[in-house]
Structure 1
Amino acid sequence: MSTDVDTDAFVSGLDYPMYIVTAASTEGFDTSLSGCLVGFATQCSISPVRFMVCISKQNRTYRVARNAKVLGVHVPGSGQRELAALFGENTGDEVDKFGSCNWREGPGGVPVLTDCPRRMIADVLDRFDLGDHVGFLLAPSQIEADPGTEPLQFSQVLDLDAGHSA
């Protein structure tokens, strides 16, 4: 199978919601928090309900999430481009993202972004190496949602410069 296939024509013009994934892990006495903007995510089963988010291996969030038992999955609203930029353009290796937004501690210490109109806390069931990303298979355990808020779309963040390359 060729890995040199140009997929631009296939995905060009497609739009989809963006997500901010947050994680916490504890090693020794230290708790690490992290979060990043994610475009690769989908519900992948109806019964039982399952969701998958894919995180770049280059990301600090991946390094924290690979030891996490719980992840937070947030859908920023269409007017929350600044929040998306905070989590998409900065790396937690250099910036305390959580010092610049509203959040509370959720189950397992996971940061819950309280300004996002849709939030899901989910247990990590499994992890899959997918190439330059790792897929996290999730079982939702808590959901808070305002379905009347339009989600931030991929087309609204095309010009962001990623904190880490994929």
Structure 2
Amino acid sequence: MDEHNDGGAEAFEKLTSLLDYPMFVVMTAAGDHRSGCLVGFTSQTSIHPARFLVGLSRKNHTFGVAADADHLAVHLLPRTELDLVRLFGEKTGDTTDKFTQCAWHPGPRGMPILDAAAGWFVGRVLRRFDVGDHVGHLLEPVAGSAPENLGDLITFSDVRDLEPGHEA
């Protein structure tokens, strides 16, 4: 065992594999390009001011579009929309136009918004930074829609068996 790692990495991986995080579909647009993907690495980071962190894999098509975008749209989807989540989790924008296979509309700041979303917000990208194999996008929410009750949402346990369009 590494003298600086007394099994911490293994324990961390085992522990986090037991958690059932909510999953999000994150979409963006820059110029004539749109993209979206399934994202599990997210977190609210501040209440006042409101801030939210989205981690995008460097290997993901959405990462390339997001690099040129000023905003991201973050969607929570009901468990009944598992097929839609599979589209954004298993297909890559490198070879598939996912937007022709789902219902969406242009939203605030030109961001694509999924019609089936239980709730969503558009966030202005305040900062991007390296967080390992992903890049963190710190967002300031600027618009959104939230119902009184979200109901049953898609979580990691619902998508654990997906074949990702890209490696993480």
Give the TM-score taking structure 2 as reference length: 0.91
Give the Cα separation in 1 of the matches to 2:8 and 2:163.
Answer: 24
The offset of 1:12, in angstroms, is 3.0
1:33 alignment partner, SS class = strand
Moved over 6 A (4+): none
Give the Cα separation in 2 of the matches to 1:125 and 1:165.
Answer: 26
In the alignment of these two chains, the number of paired residues is 162
Residue of structure 1 in register with 2:58 after alignment:
57
- Pairing partner for 1:163 from 151, 162, 165: 165
1:95 and 2:96 correspond: yes
Structure 1: gaps of 5 or more residues: none
The offset of 1:92, in angstroms, is 0.4
Alignment of 1:41-52 (within 5 A): 41-52=42-53
1:119 alignment partner, SS class = strand
Residue of structure 1 in register with 2:16 after alignment:
11
2:79 alignment partner, SS class = coil
Paired letter, 1:148: L
Alignment of 1:60-75 (within 5 A): 60-75=61-76
**Structure ID, larger Rg:** 2
Kindly report the root-mean-square deviation, in angstroms, between the aligned alpha carbons of the 2 structures: 1.5
Paired letter, 1:80: E
Paired letter, 1:149: G
Give the Cα separation in 2 of the matches to 1:107 and 1:8.
Answer: 37
Give the Cα separation in 2 of the matches to 1:106 and 1:134.
Answer: 24
Alignment of 1:3-152 (within 5 A): 5-6=9-10, 7-26=12-31, 31-146=32-147, 147-152=149-154
1:79 alignment partner, SS class = helix
Paired letter, 2:153: P
Give the TM-score taking structure 1 as reference length: 0.92
2:80 alignment partner, SS class = coil
Give the Cα separation in 2 of the matches to 1:59 and 1:108.
Answer: 22
Identity of aligned residues (%): 44
The offset of 1:131, in angstroms, is 1.3
1:22 alignment partner, SS class = strand
The offset of 1:149, in angstroms, is 2.1
Give the Cα separation in 2 of the matches to 1:109 and 1:115.
Answer: 18
Structure 2: gaps of 5 or more residues: none
The structure with the largest helix share of the pair is: 2
Task: Note if contact 2:124-2:139 (Cα within 8 Å) is conserved in structure 1.
Answer: yes
